[in-house]
Amino acid sequence: MENKIKNFIIDGINEERVNAASDPFWANLHNTGTTLWLDTGDMEEALDVWTGDMEALTTNNTLINKVIQKGIYDDFIPRTRDILSGLPDEKIIIETAFILNARHGLRLTHKFGGDVSVELHTNTAHNIDDIVNYGLRYHSICPEKFIIKVPYTASGLIGARILRDRGVRINFTLGFSARHNVMAAYISRPSYLNVFLGRIGAYVANNNIGDGSGIGEKTVIETQKHISKIGSELGSNTKLIAASIRHHDQLGLLAGVDVFTIPPKIGGTGRRELDGSFRSRLLDDYKPGIDIDPASEGMNKFWEADKKMSQVAKKIGEQLPGTGSDLESIMRNEGYEDMFPILNDTDNKRISDDGKIPVRSAWLDRINAGEIAPDTLLNLAGLASFTSDQAALDNRIESIIK
């Protein structure tokens, strides 16, 4: 059936290629050492900003849901029923979501000629076998252009490494700190890692512990240093993505970072408002705009990764645990419970209900007890948000195919 699904995905794609010229503004930014991606799967949005200086587009569960909710695949979705006949209803929905992600990703590669990051269904996040299975299936459809997004979970760390060892390019996503990315660099060794810097600043500002300025930028710059060092040590070529860019000024403040994934609106505003005289900022030191002691509440864990944790992560990378639970146990036994906390149903509901930015006051006692940390909360909230958007996409699929 997999070959039948693959052929169905590929069949009939005939996008007219965009031949975009270089733009001096974006060329100047690229010349600082930063590769430019657009953070969208919407073709119309991308066309407004795309230039010859850009190399990729990236989708996620939220962005692909926005595209599907426009109704552009409502005539295509019913055709999946014949391809998937005989499967349980729940499996049909998950497979249809995979088909839509892969087909839309292929259309983007044909249209723009660049790479495209495609995201796994959120129900695979804690299942190594499913991560590997769907990752390999995405890869087989477009090995030259697809980069597979795997979320930061214990199972994701292992699944991403298995895929990477099998030659699959991985964009390891939902990273919020230097220590998240040090873990992933040593264990998963992916092609790309992320710092979702805008949400870090929003956590500070929304929870009234500062204006949020500088903290995302500092996290990105310090993480870049860690990743470059680990790459030299391991002989790997992992690159860091500055993701969740919220303001056009950040294009200049973070010039020189390996990769930007730029929302089209931010890109358009930056092109209008900035003068285009970029220089590398990799040696800059940003002061985080927080009103509390950076060493309190684990705030410094956004940009710091201690030596012991690096050693533990390196050891795990040399001998992968069999399961995500095994990896979590290792980290907890080494004193890093706050990275892989034990949560109950009430905790998970609270995270989901809060949306992308956790409410600090609800977690402060546990933060101060060392049971959880702000970067972990943002990671859990990010996955919960993606899960909500994935559910909306699945519901649309279900409404059409029934």
Spell out the domains of the chain, with CATH numbers in brackets. 2-8+29-401 (3.20.20.70)
Tokens of 155: 């199972």
User: In this structure, are residues 159 and 151 in contact, taking their beta carbons and an 8 Å threshold?
Assistant: no
Q: Which of 156, 181, 99 is nearest to 323 (CA)?
A: 156
Residue by residue, DSSP assigns 334-381 as TT-GGGS----HHHHHHHHHHTTS--HHHHHHHHHTTS--HHHHHHHH
**Strand, helix or coil for residue 204:** helix
- Distance separating the N- and C-terminal Cα atoms of the chain: 21
Tokens of 154: 């214990």
Tokens of 374: 């702000």
The Cα–Cα gap between 217 and 215 comes to 5
The Cα–Cα gap between 374 and 298 comes to 7
The Cα–Cα gap between 136 and 142 comes to 10
The Cα–Cα gap between 275 and 56 comes to 24
The Cα–Cα gap between 250 and 245 comes to 7
Residue 352 is predicted with a pLDDT of: 97
Q: Is the dihedral of CA 48, 51, 54, 56 positive or negative?
A: positive
The Cα–Cα gap between 282 and 240 comes to 12
156 Cα distance to chain centroid: 12
pTM of the model: 0.97
**Strand, helix or coil for residue 42:** coil
Residue 147 is predicted with a pLDDT of: 98
What are the two backbone dihedrals, phi and then psi, of residue 260, each rounded to the nearest 5 degrees? -110, 135
Q: Is the dihedral of CA 366, 367, 371, 372 positive or negative?
A: positive
Angle between helices 345-354 and 374-401 (to 10 degrees): 80
**Strand, helix or coil for residue 320:** coil
pLDDT tens digits in sequence order for the chain, 402 residues long:
889 999 999 999 999 999 999 999 999 999 999 999 999 999 999 999 999 999 999 988 888 888 899 999 999 999 998 899 999 999 999 999 999 999 999 999 999 999 999 999 999 999 999 999 999 999 999 999 999 999 999 999 999 999 999 999 999 999 999 999 999 999 999 999 999 999 999 999 999 999 999 999 999 999 999 999 999 999 999 999 999 999 999 999 999 999 999 999 999 999 999 999 999 999 999 999 999 999 999 999 999 999 999 999 999 999 999 999 999 999 999 999 999 999 999 999 999 999 999 999 999 999 999 999 999 999 999 999 999 999 999 999 999 987
Residue by residue, DSSP assigns 221-240 as HHHHHHHHHHHHHHT---EE
- Identify the burial level of 204 via C-beta atoms within 10 angstroms of its C-beta, where 0-12 means exposed, 13-18 middle and 19 or more buried: buried
Residue 120 is predicted with a pLDDT of: 96
Number of neighbouring beta carbons within 10 Å of residue 209 = 18
Residue 158 is predicted with a pLDDT of: 98
The Cα–Cα gap between 215 and 357 comes to 15
Residue 1 is predicted with a pLDDT of: 85
**Strand, helix or coil for residue 278:** coil
Give counts: helices (H), strands (E), the chain. Answer: 18, 8
Residue 374 is predicted with a pLDDT of: 98
DSSP state of 274: S
Q: Which of 134, 199, 123 is nearest to 160 (CA)?
A: 134
Residue 241 is predicted with a pLDDT of: 98
Instruction: Please report, as a single letter, which amino acid is at residue 229.
Output: K
Residue 96 is predicted with a pLDDT of: 95
Locate the DSSP E strands across 191-316.
Answer: 192-196, 239-243, 259-262
The Cα–Cα gap between 327 and 322 comes to 8
